[in-house]
Chains A and B, each alone.
Chain A
Amino acid sequence: MKIKRRDFLKGAAGSMALLAMDGKTAQARTVQALPPEAVGILFDSTLCVGCNACMTACKKANNKLPDYAEGEDIWDKPVDLSPNTLNVIKRFTSGTAENKDVEVDGYAFIKRQCLHCIDPSCVTACPVSALVKDNENGIVTYNKNACIGCRYCQVACPYNIPKFDFNDVYPEIVKCQLCDHLIAEGKVSACCSVCPTGASLFGKVTDLIVETRRRLQMVPGELYDFPVTAINSGASHKYKAPEYIPHVYGKEELGGTQVMYMSAVGFENFGLPTYPKESFVSMSSGIQYAIYKGMVYPLVVLAGLVFMVKKNKQQEEEKAAEKSQEKKEDSHE
């Protein structure tokens, strides 16, 4: 059997259609190193007094409704991130919860929000590029006009951050976007701008990393300057240095994040999982890339399949034709 030129062209046309899909790729998964102008937040648990000012400011800046506690509708009282709460201060307690920042009989605060991963699972997961990571400042933003509501970002996020209002008729994915609308105006994220102690500190990620090194080298109990609002704001408070645990959460977890945590108690107490340095994204997309790079393998397979089917189908038809011929002859007799 020979492939006729026409048939070959037909197969080729189909293959070209598939190939064309690889032509223009959305800028979805390009950033795997820290973007040059990456901004983020350093949250220092030891400085947080649990005033929740950041939560209020966040709701105002992002036009979100209060989350009432059950049975009362007096004030905003979210227990966790929700479709209305992009940022939440949570408290860890143990035993009698008397002393701040100790693990036994103590308590400590943590601020949960989107960490703006350097290699974000959600961005890779999103089929329609509704979640994208900015090439310059590294902020992971959401575009509701693209989102189809498949919720793969929720499955993929290792920190369970994206929320979706299942009770809404036509919901959106909701998560912290680092107040990128304020940053565009030259301001800083709302939560940092109101934080009275500098626990939430805005800044360039590279500067924040330098700051974490400075803090880890402090002698516990001595007085030091701690910047407030933003790392380059010029304003600062003097505090006695706490006894930090020698680990900055988010510096390396799953490839690193732009929001980082420092604390005097172990991060596992806050429900922050211990993660390897390699992201789950690189594992799964590694497999996906290997198979689908440039659609070469699928096209080769397709060409093979079409060829085989064509050949077998033709043989079959020839047989069928012979058969019907025989039948006809039979009926003639």
Chain B
Amino acid sequence: MSEARPLGGKIFTLTFSICLIISGIALYFTAKRFIFGIGSVANLNDGYPWGIWIAYDVVVGTAFACGGYVMALLVYVINKGEYHPLVRPALLASMFGYTLAGVSVFLDIGRYFHAYNLYLPWQMNFHSVMFEVAMCIGTYILVLWLEFAPAFTEKWKLEKYRKFLDKIIFALIGLGVLLPTMHQSSLGTMMLMAGFKLDPLWHSSTLPLLFLLTAVIMGFAMVVFEATIASRVYNLGDETSMLAKVSRIMSWVLGFYLVVRLQNIFMRGEMGHAFSGSFLGNMFLLENFLLILGFIILTFMRNNLTPRLLFIAAAVILAGGSLFRFNTYIIGYDPGTGWNYFPSVGEQMITYGLIAMEIAAYTLFVKYFPVFSAHEPAVSTK
């Protein structure tokens, strides 16, 4: 049994209301998109068929939502039970992150009524990376809701369902670790096909590995980021020592990532391009500067990490990881032939709306459902 309980308190806070307003604006643009077509809202074009709805909402958004994945990996697979209190909040954020990524895909695909074709065995293309990603994300959204379901059964005292869930939850958790491992790496494989359109600073056969590693890194960073904010906002007490330990693990993965990333650029002789002062070169440098900055804070200051420093480290790592993914999907992508793309206001508003919905739903759920554990001071048990 989890010792989590609902936080209670006022639902309609200022944050919640602002989020609702932004969501409302996004709903307006969503309606417009469905009535008049994608072109009436977005700046997408034949050269840049994918914009921020894919690059942010799906590619970056699901990496932000990898908190549930990494915490499940840490707690249930690597058996670090001490981090248990972090699991359910992370799962909650993942659940909304992935669900809204799914919503975003639905806005983005042009022929949504035909989406059922993904589930017709004779239409499935098993060679398609897109197919694998679509299947994994679709299934994972379901798995996340089921993984979070114990919070519902506890809240509504559904003993029968709780017992049933208890019996199968280990399989769900196993799937919940496998699926992100698969599709997060595939998000990298996806852009290999873009071939010459993607700048060599990003087009590399290590993309699948780099995407998997950034998913893990950003998942950890998001756990730290969220927990820090949540403990401030909801007065949950100091979790710094537990978060610092999570950060230690994150810094190891990040170090490995940086070695792979930079070694690969050296090996392919692209370092000159990176330092050429070109726009793309600078984007590459910025992306890695942010990650290295986070790495330095976490490794060289690990003995005197304050909550503030930890938060900054998590934030720059999230920014660097996001930039890597943005660079791979939009900024480093150039189809030639003079096309260009910058997201329109409507397009951006839909993305902001999805983020706002995520925050609003999160704040609602933590008050209504048992998410945060009644706080015990984070003592290291082992």
Contacts and interface: CB of A to CB of B under 8 A. Distances in A.
B49 A160 contact: no
B136 to A, nearest CB: 10
Nearest to A308: B77
Among A128, A287, A306, A313, residue most surrounded by chain B Cβ atoms (within 10 Å): A128
B168 interface: yes
Interface stretch (B20-28, B89-97, B124-132, B360-368): B124-132
A149 B38 CA distance: 11
B188 to A, nearest CB: 9
B127 A124 contact: yes
Among B36, B110, B175, B335, residue most surrounded by chain A Cβ atoms (within 10 Å): B110
A89 to B, nearest CB: 16
A131 B353 CA distance: 34
Contacts of B114: 128, 145-149
A66 interface: no
Interface stretch (B40-48, B266-274, B293-301, B308-316): B40-48
A302 B126 contact: no
B174 A305 contact: yes
Contacts of A267: none
A324 interface: yes
Contact of B112 (A149, A164, A313, A319): A149
B192 A284 contact: yes
A280 B72 CA distance: 35
Nearest to A174: B46
Contacts of A130: 117, 123
Nearest to A129: B125
Contacts of B84: 316
A28 B122 CA distance: 10
Contacts of A160: 46-47, 335-337
A148 B117 contact: yes
A306 B174 contact: yes
Contacts of A150: 108-110, 130, 134
Interface stretch (A47-55, A165-173, A181-189, A208-216): A165-173
A107 B79 CA distance: 70
B128 to A, nearest CB: 4
Interface in B54-77: 72, 75-77
Contacts of B44: 166
A33 interface: no
Contacts of B205: 283, 287
A149 B178 CA distance: 27
Contact of A124 (B45, B117, B193): B193
Interface in B144-187: 168-171, 173-175, 177-178, 181-182, 185-186
Contacts of B10: none
Given A148-B109, A166-B37, A154 B123 contact: no
Contacts of A168: 37, 39
B46 A302 contact: no
B181 to A, nearest CB: 7
Nearest to B80: A312
A162 B117 CA distance: 20
Contacts of B192: 280, 283-284, 287
A310 B129 contact: no
A277 to B, nearest CB: 13
A100 interface: no
Contacts of A306: 170-171, 174-175
Given A292-B132, A312-B76, 15 more contacts: A21-B135, A25-B126, A29-B127, A124-B125, A127-B131, A146-B114, A151-B50, A165-B39, A166-B46, A301-B181, A305-B77, A305-B174, A305-B175, A309-B177, A319-B81
- Would you list the 8 A-B pairs with minimal beta carbon distance, nearest first? A149-B110, A306-B174, A280-B195, A284-B192, A149-B111, A166-B39, A127-B131, A151-B49
17 contacts: A26-B123, A82-B46, A129-B125, A148-B112, A149-B109, A149-B111, A152-B193, A160-B47, A164-B110, A166-B46, A169-B37, A171-B110, A273-B196, A280-B196, A284-B129, A305-B177, A308-B174
Interface of A: 10-11, 14, 21-26, 28-29, 80, 82, 121, 124-130, 144-152, 154-156, 158, 160, 162-172, 271, 273, 275, 280-281, 283-285, 287-288, 291-292, 298, 301-302, 305-310, 312-313, 315-316, 319-320, 324
